[in-house]
Structure 1
Amino acid sequence: MKEKRTLMLPGPTPIPEHARQAGAQKIIGHREKECEDLLREVTEGLKYVFQTENDVLALTCSGTGGLEASIANTLSKGDKVLVLCTGAFGERYATIAERYGIDVERMNFPWGEAVDVTRVEKRLEEDTTDEIKAILMTHNETSTGVINHPQPLGELAEQYNCLLLVDAVSSLGGIELKTDEWGVDVVVTSSQKALMTPPGLCLVSVSPKALKAGEDSDLPKFYWSFKRAKDRYDRDTQTPSTPALSTLYVLREVLAEIREEGLENVFRRHKVVAKAIRQAVQALGLDVLVKDEKIASKTVTAIKLPTEIEFTILRQRLKDEHNVYVTGSKGKLKGDYFRIGHLGNVSRTDVLATISALELVLQKEGLEVELGTGLQAAQKVFLEEERR
């Protein structure tokens, strides 16, 4: 029974079985042609998912390393940036920039709401001396379950001649992001989210505009250097440092699977699963933090905890009694909300198992929950999708 784990986290996420087995292949020399072929396949697959013709670099680190790299490679000490904060991970991006000596201006928005583009535009209009060198944003704010749409911000970045750096760690491969068409200069994601691969890889797309900005960057970088990574790949299809070979094996299989399914089908699948979870928990009388469907995340949902239940009890009972894994919220939402992740290799069966377990735990904790109510709501969503 312990092997039947239902992992409903915003990361790490379940790995398709055939891809997981690919990670058990024998290790090869990372300066051999076999590795060059592996990196070439992965890079081409990533360009499809990023929807870009720009350079895509594979860094051996977590998403946070990629966020550091996005700053270290495009900015200089004292540069001014506008960071759009709608939750804990927007705040984290701002903090990383501050640690590098960047002049950070936080534009804060209520947690549970998306970026107000008109405020951003007004601030850029006020910047008559072009001090703002970059806009930093989180595409999918994992702490709240809010989508911030990059397209209008890419238009503003082009109009006001600044860079747009996007944290897409919990969105890429689950939520539409047209890197080139929307004018995004740097997109950062990681392997263990919608890309359904073990932790250990950060994938970054970099535009020519961002690479040119890097020529004047005076921030320290060696391991994080985009130029070093690009030059080595362009020269002989290798990485400057030892790559995470086993993780790349898995990622290659996952990317092939995504291409076979088709991006539009991948995005639609995430929308359906998200809708099923949202309608199920609301049918049980629980409130979701994000009410507006237009900005509600397709990869994670934040749900208000009933006042009668502590999160630690809910989480432990779901885990111990049903082997279902959910997580709590962060920052100012901690203790008041819990989150269900639904990205990557999460099936309809996983959703139904999670809702069933949630119903049982809520009833055992004394809430007036009619068993099957949430399940029925989720099943209706799935049936409606099948009839389309």
Structure 2
Amino acid sequence: MDWLLTPGPVRLHPKALEALARPQLHHRTEAAREVFLKARGLLREAFRTEGEVLILTGSGTLAMEALVKNLFAPGERVLVPVYGKFSERFYEIALEAGLVVERLDYPYGDTPRPEDVAKEGYAGLLLVHSETSTGALADLPALARAFKEKNPEGLVGADMVTSLLVGEVALEAMGVDAAASGSQKGLMCPPGLGFVALSPRALERLKPRGYYLDLARELKAQKEGESAWTPAINLVLAVAAVLEEVLPRLEEHLALKAWQNALLYGVGEEGGLRPVPKRFSPAVAAFYLPEGVPYARVKEAFAQRGAVIAGGQGPLKGKVFRLSLMGAYDRYEALGVAAMFREVLEEILPAS
């Protein structure tokens, strides 16, 4: 058995595998329209929004760019805290979109505080909920509330790429106006789809631009079960199949993911490892490398046991390693991964 322990892509859900084994569906048929509408409805439930969720063929990064370019016009001011590789990406997207960006820098592993974003004069705040590069979880409701107290008309956009179906997500209840996610993380499907969730407030404020990324054009088509451009329709089928299976027992599923990630942190703590984040996301466990142990050695120790892990990104490259059970792992498989992790630590750590 191969153990895919990376925070994306992840081990696929059995329902995704079943769906992907089906023959190719033509995207301009009634069967495809039914699938598309079903997937959109289930995604609205997953995001817990009264608004709309648009399905885009592309990655989570595409969804992030679509969010920025359709909610903010060039020259508008936005606030972007940077506390990991993916919040850095939000900053770069905002710059490329022609926005006037104020960047707030934090050490990787930290997250912004509400008082940091309580600043007047901004059209928007861009946040990463679960910062996959560090394992840190931002307090979205507190940050959104603090920002909107100073900017009542401001919009809050969030990267929920590794929080959707992994941790608590509720768009409007969290004070979030729009969110981006993707198919290859908590949804346990292959890469290839991006999602943009838009609250009713965001829908009223759309400023569509671009061609492929024009969300107004997509919204018009997707309300009818179509898409503006050729979709990865069999991936949409897989997403719908997974959501139909997971959503009825979502509370149990989220509890399992939280327990599994805590299990990994527990093993690391037993081995004397130092966690990267201060506030843990349930999506990924990130640890600083033991002193004198290069990442290549840790990676190889897991590889010898049939497992694939992830290293650091940005300034953490060569300094940390990351493990994730975000994919389709049950309780007993997680215990097996924990035993593997202990074996690896016994092998790589110097004898005391």
Q: Fold conserved (TM > 0.5)?
A: yes
Is the aligned partner of 1:44 residue 2:41?
yes
1:54 to 45, 51, 54: 51
| 8 Å Cα contact 2:141-2:174 kept in structure 1 | yes
Give the RMSD, CA atoms, in angstroms.
1.6
2:344 to 356, 361, 373: 361
Secondary structure of 2:172's aligned partner:
coil
Is the aligned partner of 1:272 residue 2:264?
no
Code of the residue aligned with 1:255 in structure 2: it is L
Other-structure match for 2:23:
26
Other-structure match for 2:225:
237
CA drift at 1:157: 4.4
Other-structure match for 2:164:
172
Other-structure match for 1:193:
185
Secondary structure of 2:71's aligned partner:
coil
Code of the residue aligned with 2:138 in structure 1: it is N
| 8 Å Cα contact 1:6-1:350 kept in structure 2 | no
| 8 Å Cα contact 2:91-2:101 kept in structure 1 | yes
CA drift at 1:244: 0.6
CA distance in 2 between partners of 1:348 and 1:134 (Å)? 40
Secondary structure of 1:89's aligned partner:
helix
Secondary structure of 1:187's aligned partner:
strand
Code of the residue aligned with 1:107 in structure 2: it is L
Bigger shift: residues 108-117 or 298-307:
108-117
Code of the residue aligned with 1:230 in structure 2: it is L
Other-structure match for 2:239:
251
2:202 to 194, 207, 210: 210
CA distance in 2 between partners of 1:18 and 1:165 (Å)? 30
Q: Deviations over 1:177-207 (max 9, x none)?
A: 1102122111100000001111100111112
Other-structure match for 1:305:
289
CA drift at 1:366: 5.3
CA distance in 2 between partners of 1:356 and 1:89 (Å)? 31
| 8 Å Cα contact 1:49-1:172 kept in structure 2 | yes
| 8 Å Cα contact 2:297-2:348 kept in structure 1 | no
Q: Which runs of 5+ in 2 are unaligned?
A: none
1:155 to 145, 158, 164: 145
Code of the residue aligned with 2:185 in structure 1: it is K
Secondary structure of 2:287's aligned partner:
strand
Secondary structure of 1:322's aligned partner:
coil
Bigger shift: residues 55-64 or 275-284:
275-284
CA distance in 2 between partners of 1:59 and 1:158 (Å)? 29
CA distance in 2 between partners of 1:18 and 1:223 (Å)? 30
Other-structure match for 2:211:
222
Other-structure match for 1:65:
62
CA distance in 2 between partners of 1:140 and 1:21 (Å)? 29
Code of the residue aligned with 1:171 in structure 2: it is S
| 8 Å Cα contact 2:82-2:105 kept in structure 1 | yes
CA drift at 1:278: 0.7
CA distance in 1 between partners of 2:10 and 2:309 (Å)? 11
CA distance in 2 between partners of 1:152 and 1:352 (Å)? 34
CA drift at 1:18: 3.3
Is the aligned partner of 1:95 residue 2:92?
yes
Bigger shift: residues 158-167 or 62-71:
158-167
| 8 Å Cα contact 1:329-1:336 kept in structure 2 | yes
Q: Which runs of 5+ in 1 are unaligned?
A: 370-388
Other-structure match for 1:119:
116
Secondary structure of 2:81's aligned partner:
strand
CA distance in 1 between partners of 2:252 and 2:196 (Å)? 23
CA distance in 1 between partners of 2:62 and 2:45 (Å)? 23
Other-structure match for 1:385:
none
Secondary structure of 2:181's aligned partner:
strand
CA distance in 2 between partners of 1:317 and 1:153 (Å)? 40
Q: Deviations over 1:211-244 (max 9, x none)?
A: 33324x6xx411111100101122x221111111
TM-score (normalised: structure 2): 0.95
Other-structure match for 1:351:
334
CA distance in 2 between partners of 1:277 and 1:365 (Å)? 17
The within-5 A match list for 1:362-377 is 362-365=345-348, 367-368=350-351
Alignment coverage as a number of residue pairs: 350
| 8 Å Cα contact 1:171-1:299 kept in structure 2 | yes
TM-score (normalised: structure 1): 0.86
Identity value in percent: 29
CA drift at 1:357: 2.7
Other-structure match for 2:4:
7
Other-structure match for 1:380:
none
